[in-house]
Structure 1
Amino acid sequence: MRPPRPYPSDLSDARWGLMEPILSAWRAERRGKGLDIGRPPEHDLRRIMDAVLYVDRTGIPWRYLPHDFAPWETVYGYFAAWQKDGVFDQLNGALRRLVREAEGRTPEASACVLDAQSVKTSANVPAASQGIDAGKKIAGRKRHIGVDTLGLLLAVLVTAASTSDHAGGIQVLSQIAKAHPRVTKAWADTGYRTTAIDHGARLGIDVEVVHRDPGQKGFKVIPRRWVVERTFGWLMHHRRLARDYETHPHRSEAMIRLAMIDLMSRRLTRESTPNWKNS
């Protein structure tokens, strides 16, 4: 049953309409295999997604979910299953294509922008999956992403912060080449070295390093690179991503995809919610 006063992160009817076909198809497939999680009683998928979005947007621990949602163990079970079964990938891809079409672009991208972001981790993150970014002096993890020219997510990889940009970039390029064969151009910053450029060439992707003007003083928007920097800014609207709280890197990747799903669904339905930085 829907609560009388929904949370700002809850799905509207319009946003749920964008996600419901994929989530319902997932449940039907699991039923066919005898793997459905909610037996009996069966939990409402919309309310489960509301709870997952609540965690992503507010940054609370799973155990702190408000009691008007399903038990936190159930919600996390769905989140983990959706990550494992590629549901967040499907939603991200479907919504990205809709946003691109709404912007007058072809459904599939032909160019991308690469970058990486180092973030601190919480105390529950295993030391084995962390590292130190010597350049930025951050101990934690690193998010390597590839986005299209609208800043929409194409690929994501979470590693220890000690992983170099170009090493992570090689894996992201491989992801993009496999999932988005139309991509033939990529822009990146100076952290992407010859090995990443050569790897891109083998995949049929021309990787161009965009250099900062050596005489530049103060802040200045750098062509192409600003697109992916803006995406990192979008991700920071979700408190769960202000730091890496996930025990497993693949769960961190899922949280990033979830944030983009939230953003794209709101863009398609022309909805907004207060930014936590301004609250």
Structure 2
Amino acid sequence: MKERKRQSLVDTRGFLVACRVEPAGISDRRAARELTVGLSLLWPKVHTVIANAGYESETLAQTIRGGNGWRLVIVKRKEQAFRIPGLNWIVERSFAWLGQHRRMSKDYEYRVQTSETLITIAPALK
């Protein structure tokens, strides 16, 4: 499968904490579980993870609570009109920052590790 999805975890200022590039066939919930494993050692002051409705899963909530001691808060869209509720705009802004780099506008890379590395270093290139 050539298509890929970018999963990212950002702080409240929109700076990248962790990222993974996964095949498009993997569910968001499974990718989020793999993304958050072991992050509590690097980020001990984190208490809450805010995600959109695509990540709503009791299994994911238990994994995040059990593995990291974090709380998962799901933000749901209440209306059909385009509006980014609550803190979700922070993640959207981070993707917009990545989109400023021509090479990040699309996944041109052959290797997944190269994609993840470029996502990690892209903010330093501006």
TM over 0.5: yes
CA RMSD of aligned residues (A): 1.3
Match of 1:209 among 33, 55, 74: 74
1:214-245 CA distance string (max 9 Å, x none): xx132112101111011111100011111111
Please tell me whether residue 223 in structure 1 is matched to residue 98 in structure 2. no
- How far apart are the structure 2 equivalents of 1:175 and 1:230? 25
| TM-aligned CA distance change 1:245 to 1:175, over 3 Å | farther
- How far apart are the structure 1 equivalents of 2:41 and 2:10? 15
TM-aligned CA deviation for residue 178 of structure 1: 3.3
1:131-153 CA distance string (max 9 Å, x none): xxxxxxxxx10110000000000
Match of 1:186 among 41, 49, 59: 49
**Rg (Cα) greater in structure:** 1
TM-aligned CA deviation for residue 259 of structure 1: 1.1
- How far apart are the structure 1 equivalents of 2:117 and 2:41? 19
- How far apart are the structure 1 equivalents of 2:124 and 2:58? 33
Which structure's relative contact order is higher, taking Cα pairs within 8 Å and 6+ residues apart? 2
TM-score (norm 2): 0.91
- How far apart are the structure 1 equivalents of 2:30 and 2:58? 11
Question: Where does structure 1 lack aligned partners over 5 or more consecutive residues?
Answer: 1-126, 131-139, 264-279
Counterpart secondary structure, 1:191: helix
Question: Where does structure 2 lack aligned partners over 5 or more consecutive residues?
Answer: none
